[in-house]
Amino acid sequence: MSPIDSTIPYYPVNDFGPLMKGLVIGGVGILHVFLAQFAIGGGMLLWYFERRAQRGDRDARTFVDGYFKVLVLISFVVGALTGVAMWFTTIQVGARTIGLMIDEFHWLWATEWIWFAVEIVAGYAFYRYGPRLADRARLRLLALYAVASWLSLFWINGILSWQLTPGDWLEGGGIWAGFFNASFWPSLVFRTAVATTLAALAGCILINTMDLPRERRAALLRRAARFAAPIAVMPVLALWFLAVLPEDSRSWLLGGSMPMTMFVGVAAGASFLIGAYVVVGLIVQRLYINGATATLLLGLAFGATAAGEFVREGARKPYTVRGVLYSTSIRPTEVAALRAGGATANDPYPLKATYPSEQLTRGAKVERALCDACHTMRGANALVELTRTWTDDQLRLNLAKLQRTKGFMPPFAGNAEDVEALVQLLRWEHRERAAGFAPTSAPEHLAQIARWLDEAGTGPAGATR
Amino acid sequence: MTALWPFDASIESLWLALYLASFALHAVFVSYVAAGTGYTLIAALRGAPDPIAERTRDWLPFMLGAGITAGVGPLLFIQLLYQRRFYTGNLLLGPRWGAVVPALILGFYALYLAKASSRWRRFALGVGLACFAFVAWSWTEIHLVMMDDAAWRAMYGAGTRMYLSLDVVPRLAIWLGAMLALYAMVAAWSAASGERRRLAVLALVGLVASAATAAIQAGTRGALDPAHGWTYVLMLAAAAATVGWAWILRRPDGPGLALATGATTAALLAGAVVREAPRLAMIERGRASASESGGLVVFFVTLAVGVAAITWVIRTVRGAAAT
């Protein structure tokens, strides 16, 4: 049978060495989100400064033309291409997830593409011809750029937030129920506030490079700082976002999972520091912000963005699309069949490495099919380290009742032989792949594992919504 | 019901039409970039003043940006038409395939550097050309990997990241010839009479190279796939384009350019269908999640608004461009 013909899609799995796949997509994703949001806020900031320029503020015009060059050189190049990279990376990490998203939302994704194209054309037109255009045309072009870039965010935001809170879409509510889901509006307002803040901080850096007397730079800085003011409402937006999250996801963010809670703390702490400086220092006390401080704040904003994206990704566990697709790229409805037939019975792809026994080979295939999306064997989030101190029976129990062991893990999508093969593989790895390794499995172990699998059931630990 | 092969009333047919149209648009921009970078590099190496090269160098970063933006369209629709094949091809080629992104970023900045610095121009254009050649080769490669499912298991098991098939070479050669013709077509509209002659030579070389390679390939296989007549449309359009370019050689300001442009565009569209013909049977039909998805009306309304907005932008800056 060709790999193309299987009922459940099986894709070749790539190994990124010590990097877990989440780190790979996280690295690309955070950079892309940061640059894209900078471009969106940049459009609004430039329109505002252009309006000021046309009311007699000559420095504002100089700022607009200088800022736009930076926007084009950074955002139009690295920002646009990391967007393409996001698709390629998502395919590497979760081909079935991106396939499902494309299937469900392709017309809206194509709509987002149209706005992105308008943004790019308006942006390049302004970059190239802006200095030669009449005031009215300049302002309109910048308005078109700002609106198109924000609409690009609008459309992509609905697709991304659907992954976390698909809501009534799960009950057949249709595409709009999925698009305007519970986290759509808080997420959209939150990202818009982040976008204006990033643009303002980047603007402050650029203003400090302008060859102007200090007082004229200070005047521009005060204007730019206003665009960072929305960060003051971040706590309210964050609470709104938390309120619409599914209960289990919220509980992990609020102490149920310490790494997640710490990332929430990093995002909140960094945002608070930026907000306090902007509101108290720049807006109320009208302090002068130099390039170094603005760069530091932008660095903090990058940290907050990174932590926020980690939280958003992590809150979806054990799903990549809540209620529809587990992080293992297996649908909840497919688990029962895989319990009966085995996790890798239809996997057409061979292993790249060789193993000393058939059981260890099977274990390696099970690890690739069910664990590899979020774990490595010995690198980041290493299975060997997570399970090193577990006894053999503990290994069997915890894997068989995986969704009960940790609520953010999916149910084990294989049979008793698969669990035992994975247990033996981990024992072998714990013993540094010893040459004389002897498996300890026995028929009574398989019977016990089968009972545990039945007790755990095939559903997730938490609610599907 | 088949109205005009390969198009019918199915949703897959609409995806295919949008895929082909956006692919053709993407091809125009990237051809300008790839062939234009090559042309400007040669001009820079020669060192003699060349207005075509100067204009091209000025436009290259924008054209690359437009090419990448236009490329998102076919990248979206290919995931609907050949989802499993495209994803498998991506995964098999792995990080080697993913390298097209850093290559494009490097190429992008190289074009800006070539525009800004005469000192670094040759080096930057050389780097840019190498990057774009790598991307063109990678796309050709993944196209073939996607279709060769019989090779997937062995390729994965061996950990091979390259698809070393001889088919890559003629396929790439046909594209490189077509790229020369497409570059000449776009560049000629802003060229003076004498410059148009040079571009006409370039286009004719490209058309002959493409046609000769395609003929050799068909001869080697011993068969020509008529693709329900689209191959003949392609041949006819290419012949008309050749006449148009030959006419430009004699009368650069005559109607040859309009003929060459119309015929080259027709050849591009027909060529896109012919290119697609061998894998049309591989289209993954019947995925309910995709075929029943909503939002089509929103897309077409936005498409109309977007086209109007882009038209307005072009009209707005046209006056400024003239000054």
Instruction: Name the residue among A77, A106, A144 with its Cβ closest to that of B109.
Output: A77
**Is A175 close to B18, i.e. CB distance below 8 A?**
no
Longest dimension (CA), chain A: 86
CA distance B316 to A154: 26
Encode A37-69 in three state secondary structure.
Answer: HHHHHHHHHHHHHHHHHCCCCHHHHHHHHHHHH
Report yes or no on B181 lying in a domain.
yes
> A11-326 in CATH: which number?
1.20.1630
CA distance A101 to A160: 9
**Is A113 close to B72, i.e. CB distance below 8 A?**
yes
Report yes or no on B272 lying in a domain.
yes
CA distance A124 to A122: 6
Say which residues have a Cβ less than 8 Å from residue B68's Cβ, sequence separation at least 6.
A80, A81, A84, B104
Any idea where the domains of chain A sit in the sequence? 11-326, 339-456
Longest dimension (CA), chain B: 61
Instruction: Name the residue among B77, B90, B316 with its Cβ closest to that of A88.
Output: B90
Please list every residue in chain B whose beta carbon sits closer than 8 Å to the beta carbon of residue A106. Answer: 15, 76-77, 79-80, 290, 293, 295
Successive 10-residue mean pLDDT values, chain A, 465 residues: 82 89 88 94 96 95 91 86 93 95 97 97 94 95 97 97 95 94 97 96 96 95 95 92 94 92 95 94 94 96 93 92 96 96 94 94 97 94 96 97 95 97 96 86 92 96 73
Report yes or no on B146 lying in a domain.
yes
CA B260 to chain centre: 17
Write down the residue that tokens 């955070």 correspond to.
A30
Question: Minimal CA–CA distance to A41: which of A148, A149, A195, A146?
Answer: A195
**Is B293 close to A107, i.e. CB distance below 8 A?**
yes
For CA atoms A387, A392, A398, A402, give the dihedral sign.
Answer: positive
CA distance A176 to A211: 50
**Is A85 close to B68, i.e. CB distance below 8 A?**
no
Report the CATH number that the domain containing residue B266 is assigned in CATH.
1.20.1630
Give the containing element (helix H, strand E) for A20.
Answer: none
Please list every residue in chain A whose beta carbon sits closer than 8 Å to the beta carbon of residue B101. Answer: 81-82, 84-85, 88
User: Residue B172 half-sphere exposure, CB side, CA atoms within 13 Å?
Assistant: 18
**Is A128 close to B66, i.e. CB distance below 8 A?**
no
CA distance A260 to A222: 36
Q: How far is CA B24 from CA A3, A23, A241, B101, in A?
A: 30, 36, 42, 21
pLDDT at A464: 66
**Residues B145-159: b if buried by 16+ CB within 10 A, e if exposed:** bbbebeebbebbeee
Please list every residue in chain B whose beta carbon sits closer than 8 Å to the beta carbon of residue A102. Answer: 76, 79-80, 83, 290
> A339-456 in CATH: which number?
1.10.760
Closest-CA distance, A233 to chain B, in angstroms, reads 32
Instruction: Provide, for chain B, the percentages of residues in helix, strand and coil under a 3-state DSSP scheme, each rounded to the nearest 5.
Output: 85, 0, 15
Residue of B nearest to A91 (CA): B87
Report yes or no on B106 lying in a domain.
yes
* ipTM, interface predicted TM-score of the complex: 0.95
Please list every residue in chain B whose beta carbon sits closer than 8 Å to the beta carbon of residue A103. Answer: 80, 83, 287, 289-290, 293
Instruction: Name the residue among A104, A114, A124 with its Cβ closest to that of B65.
Output: A124
End-to-end CA distance of chain A: 37
Whether the ω angle into residue B226 lies within 30 degrees of 0, i.e. cis, is no
Fill in the DSSP letter of residue B323.
Answer: -
Strands (E), A217-372: 319-321, 325-326
Residue A321 three-state SS: strand
Say which residues have a Cβ less than 8 Å from residue B103's Cβ, sequence separation at least 6.
B131, B132, B134, B135
Say which residues have a Cβ less than 8 Å from residue A303's Cβ, sequence separation at least 6.
A266, A270
CB atoms within 10 A of CB A277: 22
CB atoms within 10 A of CB B276: 18
Residue of A nearest to B323 (CA): A132
Residue B82 three-state SS: coil
Question: Minimal CA–CA distance to A188: which of A227, A226, A119, A244?
Answer: A244
Query: Radius of gyration (Cα) for chain A, nearest Å?
Result: 26
pLDDT at A436: 84
What global pTM score does this model have? 0.95
Please list every residue in chain B whose beta carbon sits closer than 8 Å to the beta carbon of residue A141. Answer: 313, 316
Per-residue pLDDT of chain B (323 residues; tens, 9 = 90+): 457 999 999 999 999 999 999 999 999 999 999 999 999 999 999 999 999 999 999 999 999 999 999 999 999 999 999 999 999 999 999 999 999 999 999 999 999 999 999 999 999 999 999 999 999 999 999 999 999 999 999 999 999 999 988 889 999 999 999 999 999 999 999 999 999 999 999 999 999 999 999 999 999 888 888 999 999 999 999 999 999 999 999 999 999 999 999 999 999 999 999 999 999 999 999 888 899 899 999 999 999 999 999 999 999 998 777 66
Give the containing element (helix H, strand E) for A427.
Answer: helix A416-430
**Is B316 close to A14, i.e. CB distance below 8 A?**
no
Write down the residue that tokens 């809540």 correspond to.
A322
Write down the residue that tokens 């894998």 correspond to.
B279
Report yes or no on B115 lying in a domain.
yes
CB atoms within 10 A of CB B17: 15
**How many residues would you count in chain A?**
465
Q: Which amino acid is at B46?
A: R
Please list every residue in chain B whose beta carbon sits closer than 8 Å to the beta carbon of residue A82. Answer: 101
DSSP string across B200-242? HHHHHHHHHHHHHHHHHHHHHHT----GGGHHHHHHHHHHHHH
Report yes or no on B323 lying in a domain.
no
Query: Are residues A167 and A182 in contact, defined by beta-carbon separation less than 8 angstroms?
Result: yes
Residue of A nearest to B19 (CA): A110
**Is A348 close to B296, i.e. CB distance below 8 A?**
no
**Tokens of residue A108, six digits:** 């809206």
Closest-CA distance, A93 to chain B, in angstroms, reads 9
Query: Are residues A402 and A411 in contact, defined by beta-carbon separation less than 8 angstroms?
Result: yes
CA distance A154 to A112: 8
Domain of B54 in residue numbering reads as 2-317
The number of folded domains in chain B is: 1
CA distance A464 to B18: 36
Please list every residue in chain A whose beta carbon sits closer than 8 Å to the beta carbon of residue B302. Answer: 111, 114-115
DSSP string across A149-164? HHHHHHHHHHHHHHHH
Instruction: Name the residue among A14, A114, A128 with its Cβ closest to that of B94.
Output: A14
Query: What percent of chain B lies above the pLDDT cut of 90?
Result: 91
**Is A103 close to B153, i.e. CB distance below 8 A?**
no
CA distance B173 to A145: 39
A446's torsion region: left (phi>0), alpha (psi -120 to 50) or beta? Answer: alpha
CA distance A216 to A257: 49
Instruction: Name the residue among A104, A122, A351 with its Cβ closest to that of B313.
Output: A122
For CA atoms B142, B143, B146, B150, give the dihedral sign.
Answer: negative
**Is A352 close to B159, i.e. CB distance below 8 A?**
yes
